[in-house]
Amino acid sequence: MMTKTIKTGLILLAIASFSFASAQERVEVKNEKALKAFKKFDANFDEAITLDEFKAVRMNDASKEEQIEKRFLKMDKDKNGSVNLDEFTYAYESRKKTMKKKKTKNTEADIKKD
């Protein structure tokens, strides 16, 4: 026979396991979007984005070349000349948060105008 303490412990362990699995699933879904974007940039499929690959996708306007280079250098955290999936995912999530803040700020400004 199991004691009440052991039963309670097993139930809590089961709940914690399901919670962890659910959290992992949410992280994978987020990273799935970043992975899809990463693959769009990684032209030679070497699991790294070079500046040239980044420019090939991002540069529609030659006047924005400097801005694009700065963005690439900011993503390249280890300064090895290429951006791996971890660096890209971090930049992707950071940019998403920044855009969300800007949108909120603009909405607040619009409300104050009214």
Q: Note down the domain range covering 44.
A: 31-113
What is the full per-residue pLDDT of the chain (114 aa) written as tens digits?
Answer: 567 787 777 676 666 665 555 555 544 546 788 899 999 999 999 999 999 999 999 988 888 999 999 999 999 999 999 999 999 999 998 887 888 777 676 665 566 665
Whether residue 60 lies inside any domain: the answer is: yes
Whether residue 41 lies inside any domain: the answer is: yes
Whether residue 87 lies inside any domain: the answer is: yes
Whether residue 92 lies inside any domain: the answer is: yes
Given a contact cutoff of 8 angstroms between Cβ atoms, the answer to whether 93 and 106 are in contact is no
The CATH number linked to 74 is 1.10.238.10
Whether residue 37 lies inside any domain: the answer is: yes
What six digits make up the tokens of 66? 């400097």
pLDDT value of residue 17: 63
Whole-number Cα distances in Å, 46 to 4, 25, 54, 59, 104: 55, 26, 14, 21, 37
Entry pTM: 0.60
pLDDT value of residue 1: 52
Whole-number Cα distances in Å, 45 to 50, 66, 106: 11, 25, 38
| Domains held by the chain: number | 1
Type of residue at 22: S
Whether residue 80 lies inside any domain: the answer is: yes
pLDDT value of residue 69: 95
